[in-house]
Amino acid sequence: MLATIGIGSVDELFPSVPAALKAKAALALPDGLGEREVLERMQALADANELLPSFQGAGAYRHFVPAAVSLVMSRSEFATSYTPYQPEVSQGTLQAAFEFQTYVARLTGMEVANASMYDGASAFAEALLMALRVHKNRPRLLVSAGIHPEYLEVARTYLEGYGRGQIVEIALAADGRTDLEALQAAIGSGSDVAAVAVGYPNFFGVIDDLAGAGALARKAGALCISVTTEALALALLRSPGECGADIAVAEGQSLGLPVSYGGPGLGMFATRTAHLRQMPGRLVGQTVDEEGRRGYVLTLSTREQHIRREKATSNICTNQGLAALCVTVYMSLTGRRGLRELAIENTQAAHRVAERLTREAGLALALSAPFFNEFTIEVPDCEAAFDRAVAGGVIPGVKVARLLPGRPEHKNRLLVTVTEMTRASDVDLLIDRLRSRAAA
Amino acid sequence: MKRQLEPPIFEKGSVGRSGVDVAVGSTDIPLDASLLREELDGFPEVSEPEVVRHYVRLSQLNYSAATNFYPLGSCTMKYNPVANERAAALAGFAGIHPYAPDATVQGALALIRDLEQWLCEISGLQAVSLQPAAGAQGELTGMKIIRAFHESHGRARKKVLIPESAHGTNPASATLCGYDSVSIPSDARGLISAQAVRDRIDEDVAALMVTNPNTLGLFEEDIVEIAEIVHGAGGLIYMDGANMNALMGVAKPGHMGADVLQFNLHKTFSTPHGGGGPGSGPVAVRADLEPFLPRPRVIERDGRLAWEWNRPQSIGKVRSFYGNFGILVRAWSYMLANGGDGLTEATRTAVLAANYVKARLRGRYHLAYDRPCMHEVVLTDRIQARLGVKTLDVAKRLLDYGFHAPTIYFPLVVAGALMIEPTETESLETLDDFIEAMECIAGEAETEPAKVREAPHETVLSRLDETRAARFPVLTWSVQQARP
């Protein structure tokens, strides 16, 4: 190879790198390891993480992943393929993405969906940016305080310095739903409101009045955005589209992906056809080849950064393709009946645990509005009770104050999540560990 | 058996089937009926064998790094070692919850800290955040940091200088940060010159976004002087690290004057591309920019690792939780396997491979810039265009020869670009096979150009009608559209 190039050694390959920049010393890193040693090191790191029975959700959910999902994920033809820029040799990825878009549109009750975003939080931020594009002269974005705090923080990060858009937080009523009177007051005449966004179900597990918020948004001529962290809920609840949402975003991790310390999951993003040209992200469309056979291609890319550059609808390029495939396989397996039945099983299980916590552990639900598979309880001296439960072998939930520090109303609130993975013995342990103190 | 097309899943199955056990438990739903939707109309009813066969068949319609060589320039499609998949699937990684108490996830926190430190050493910068989900989100994060830095010094400034050869995400990311993009032309060398930067620099320039080596595969030889010019006017250097595979152990961006840089773990550190993600786009910064990194940050406290959320100067979060953790695990496994010596060798071999391809194809294809290249080389269709064969035709004909096409028509500054990045993982035989295919196509362009123009002939579908797809968008499956 060196002779073909016309040089004598690999060191001569870098004539364009100025001598002053060339590394004088080797990288100060250890030498490489063999595969067995690497996997031993990785196993040791993994073993340094404890897998306790857990009632944590709050945006990352433990659900059963069927073996068939894992099988398809491990197909290296999917896992190691590139973005499908050459459609003739990428029909697998393209068709799966087309099926994904169809599933997401149907699950959310919308007309079109993209091929995925990074996660629910950045999808929410992109939805707000899209609302500002649809309504160029309307700066205000009214967002419910029930939206996941990390999603709100990501939205603020995206909007900071963007030059347009002003986020106004709408408080929750005592029952945990968005205070529609406060929302109406904030809307005012409404002519400067680009969007109203509501968590559905919201961060506290509450099934918010999306239709109510949507009606107020519509009256003001603003877009309504629904924001979902637990996508399984959408298999049972009235769809965002049916409730009047114009954009539905969701985190899709719960549909077939492990929690994996919070990533990768994926953002789902759906809207109405009227807003198609303002959508961010990749889209796959159906077309034909020269012989008229059905096939799929990346399409409407004139919205995207590689064509429009600084005028693109988003800077997104790589998305979460393999995670979207995972969701696609999961929805195919569970199908029309299985997904809904699973959602029912989840909500039943969560309601049973809530009932036992109130009856047997003497704890009170913090919010009275209906919930899906997670709910908020008041735990006296929550911080200490949490630590004791962990010491006692169960992670009892997510301390709301961890995400919303400095708000007195949340000081003793614990967000408890129950899924089909929750075992009876876990519930007994939870009751036992939380009861010991509540009674004292 | 010739590969067959596979009908969409929505055209399969039959009423009553399911791929999972459907519990026929109580239908007593503890929610008011007014809150509930109708059945999941439009979802299929298919059995597990139908689902598995459907998606395995679809997989067989894909080109992939596990089956073949990808010469895709700027994408660094190296082979993805399988051990990394096993590591990521370990229950102690895949099963931990992001809000688990820090004391119960010391292994995950140690992995994050160590990966950050290795990326610091490789980049010559002092602090890293692993939160961004992909390269473009890393760019956005980096530019937010630059904006926050300037605001802390009084004003955000107004514009960002971007070479015209840059990836489209650069100007798109700048826009998201409220900056106007000012384009810098490439000079006759294919580089940005110090003079071109000097002509455009002023106190309103927040940063120069530079890719080094650039998208032509060329090292920006004036980078030190350029950085001095930008720094002299109070601006910062944002370096797009998409091409880090050309630099590991050879030169450090921090020494070139870069203040902020994003990595693409799905390129340089071999995590599988997944047909378009998930990736990971860590951001590295110089020491005084550390306070602006996304929160939370891993710190050591009383001999234990913990997340620190109290970061008053942080730009905030750019995604939920801590990033694409499963991708970080794969990258860490790859880095342990390679070590400092292996990463350096990867870079040297990648540059060797690119220069070899360039030397072999010189004469058969026009070289956009006949200079020593780094990890990739840009050819053009200038010779073939005279015969009526365009870059797109060459790309499609390569598919018939069993190779993926190079990156085409990018960078935009080169007419009819064919951008080839062989990476370090390809054998000499594979490179020679690819080169031979390219030579054959150059020959066909002379002898039977129609064959090239009408390619591909051997793929499961012929060329697809992209105009129709865009003009009459069909983005979801429906009965009406099922038969085009």
- Give the pLDDT of residue B26: 61
Mean predicted confidence (pLDDT) in A112-125: 98
The domain over range B340-468 is classified in CATH as 3.90.1150.10: yes
- Facing residue for A91 by CB, picked from B266, B405, B460: B460
Q: Which residues of B touch A30 (CB under 8 A)?
A: 339-340
Q: Are residues A72 and A90 in the same domain?
A: yes
A195-A199-A205 Cα angle (round to 5): 170
Would you say residue A11 lies in a domain? no
Q: For B158-220, where are the alpha helices, taking DSSP H only? A: 169-176, 194-200
Query: Using CB atoms, which residue from A27, A81, A295 is nearest to B273?
Result: A81
Chain B contact present for A111, CB below 8 A: yes
Query: What average pLDDT is seen over chain B?
Result: 96
A218 touches chain B (CB under 8 A): no
* Any B CB within 8 A of A25 CB: no
Position B242 confidence tier, pLDDT thresholds 50, 70, 90: very high
Nearest to A288 among B108, B177, B468 (CB): B468
- A288 in the same domain as A424: no
Structure confidence at residue B24 (pLDDT):
62
Measured between CB atoms, does B460 come within 8 Å of chain A?
yes
Half-sphere exposure of A383 (CA within 13 A, CB side): 5
**From-to residues of CATH 3.90.1150.10 in chain B:** 340-468
Per-residue pLDDT for A440 more than 50?
no
Same-domain check for residues A110 and A91:
yes
Cβ(A283)–Cβ(B469) below 8 Å: no
Token pair recorded at residue B54 = 């459907």
Candidate from B66, B107, B174 with C-beta closest to A80: B66
Name every residue whose Cβ is closer than 8 Å to that of residue A203 and which is 6 or more positions away in sequence: A58, A59, A146, A147, A148, A149, A229, A403, A415
**A378 shares its domain with A314:** no
Q: What is the pLDDT of residue A438?
A: 45
- DSSP character at residue A34: -
Residues of B in contact with A44 (CB under 8 A): 107
In order of A118, A203, A375, the CA distances from A144 in angstroms are 22, 10, 18
pLDDT, one tens digit per residue, over B208-238 is 999 999 999 999 999 999 999 999 999 999 9
| B43–A317 CB contact, under 8 Å | no
Q: Which residues of A touch B256 (CB under 8 A)?
A: 21
| Confidence label for B483 from pLDDT (cuts 50, 70 and 90) | confident
* A54 belongs to a structural domain: no
Q: Which residues contact A262 (CB under 8 A, 6 or more apart)?
A: A59, A60, B97, B98, B320, B321, B322, B323, B325
pLDDT of B331 over the 70 cut: yes
Range of the domain at A409: 336-438
**Boundary residue ending a domain (A287, A307, A330):** A330
- The percent of residues in chain B predicted with pLDDT above 90, rounded, is 96
User: Which pLDDT band holds residue A318 (cuts at 50, 70, 90)?
Assistant: confident
Instruction: Determine, for residues A266 and B278 on separate chains, whether the beta-carbon distance falls below 8 Å.
Output: yes
Among the three residues A263, A296, A330, which one is the final residue of a domain in this structure? Answer: A330
Which pLDDT value is given to residue B1?
A: 53
* Option in A31, A242, A320 nearest B341 (CB): A31
Say whether both A171 and A92 belong to one domain.
yes
List C-alpha distances in Å: A24 to A19, A20, B126, B222, B341.
Answer: 10, 9, 19, 20, 14
Answer yes or no: is A350 within a domain: yes
DSSP B376-424: -EEEESHHHHTTT--HHHHHHHHHHTT----EES-STTSTTEEEE---T
Task: Give percent of chain B above pLDDT 70.
Answer: 99
In this structure, are A273 and A389 located in the same domain?
A: no
Report whether pLDDT(A437) > 60. no
Q: How many CA atoms lie within 13 A of A204 on its CB side?
A: 29
For chain B, residues classed under CATH 3.40.640.10 are: 83-336
**Hey, is the C-beta of B275 within 8 angstroms of any chain A C-beta?**
yes
CATH of the domain at A395: 3.90.1150.10
Output the CA torsion sign for A354, A355, A359, A365: positive
Residues B459 and B260: their CA atoms lie apart, in Å, by 43
Q: Does domain B83-336 have CATH number 1.20.120.160?
A: no
Please check whether residue A187 lies inside any domain of the structure: yes
* Same domain for A197 and A129: yes
| Within-domain flag for A38 | no
| Domain CATH for A95 | 3.40.640.10
Tens of pLDDT, residue by residue over A40-49, are 999 999 999 9
- What proportion of chain A, given as a percentage, has pLDDT over 70? 99
Over the stretch B142-192, which tens digit does the pLDDT of each residue have? 999 999 999 999 999 999 999 999 999 999 999 999 999 999 999 999 999
Shared domain check, A418 and A309:
no
Q: Could you say which of B63, B122, B294 has the minimum Cβ distance to residue A89?
A: B63
Residue A42 inside a domain? The answer is no
Whole-number Å distance between alpha carbons of B360 and B377: 12
| Interface residue of A302, A304, A318, A330 to substitute, partner B, most B CBs within 10 Å | A318
* Number of folded domains that form chain A: 2
Domain stop point among A310, A330, A350 = A330
- What's the whole-model pTM score? 0.98
Give the confidence band of B482 by pLDDT, cuts at 50, 70, 90. confident
Q: Is the pLDDT of residue A8 over 50?
A: yes
Specify whether A223 is located in the same domain as A361: no
Residue pair B423/B78 in contact by the 8 Å Cβ criterion: yes
What per-residue confidence (pLDDT) applies to A306? 87
Residues A363 and A319 in one domain: no
Interface of B with A in 65-94 (CB under 8 A): 65-67, 70, 72, 75, 77, 80, 83, 85-88, 90-94
What value does the mean pLDDT take over residues B257-281? 97
Q: For residues A343 and A326, state if they share a domain.
A: no
Would you state the pLDDT for residue A353?
A: 98
Cross-chain Cβ contact A322/B278 below 8 Å:
yes
A272, A417: one domain: no
Q: Does B160 touch chain A (CB under 8 A)?
A: no
Q: Which two tokens stand for residue A34?
A: 């063999």
Backbone angles phi, psi at B297, to 5 degrees: -120, 145
Residue A14 lies in a domain: no
Cα gap B321→A211, rounded to integer Å: 29
